[in-house]
Amino acid sequence: MEIERKFEPKKIPAEISSHPCLFIEQAYLCTDPVIRIRRQDDEYYMTYKGKGLMAREEYNLPLNPAAYAHLLTKADGNIISKKRFLIPIEHPCFTADYPAPKEPIGLKIELDVFDPPFAPLVIAEVEFPNEEMAAAFIPPKWLGEDVTNNPEYHNSNLSRRVFKR
């Protein structure tokens, strides 16, 4: 189960280059249901995602580079490439009705900086161990607008976006 909230930051933090960064390329073989292939640095896999916005089923299967390259030729729509910066959230804040975690919970912001044709799009995601924590999370102000419930921010929908040439 993937449980995440999405945000559209208006600016990238100045110290972004001090955080680990992954190069991601992904494409969609199908968007209903979502079947995605992804290269993340030197890892390759296929993902099935169920329906939903904040919470949905997700299954990953490993691929080798040759299988990824073969499937990439069968992708529909845009191939998405982006840099993902992994930013730890040292002291996450939650609403008053949510019990404060007694131990560090390891939340992190996955800040995706998209390459053309999507640039200057930036989307931030935070994954959670349960829906209650996700709902109670108070994001840092710089994360901007919460777009979790807007399906336009799903990468599968971005893959179908048409750009004027």
Token pair of 127 as six digits: 């994954």
- What pLDDT digit, counting tens, does each position of 68-121 carry? 999 999 999 999 999 999 999 988 999 999 987 878 788 999 999 999 999 999
Q: Which residue has the higher pLDDT, 162 or 30?
A: 30
Region of 22 (left: φ > 0; alpha: ψ -120 to 50; beta: rest) is beta
- Where do we find the tokens 């949510």? 98
- Measured in whole angstroms, how far is the alpha carbon of residue 140 from the centre of its chain? 17
Question: Helix, strand or coil for residue 9?
Answer: coil
Please, which pLDDT band fits residue 135 given cuts at 50, 70 and 90? very high
Q: Give residues with Cβ within 8 angstroms of 158, minimum separation 6.
A: 78, 80, 118, 121, 152
Q: Which of 28, 44, 68, 153 is catalytic?
A: 28
Considering the chain, what percentage of its residues have pLDDT values greater than 90? 90
Active site residue 28: yes
Mean confidence (pLDDT) of the chain? 94
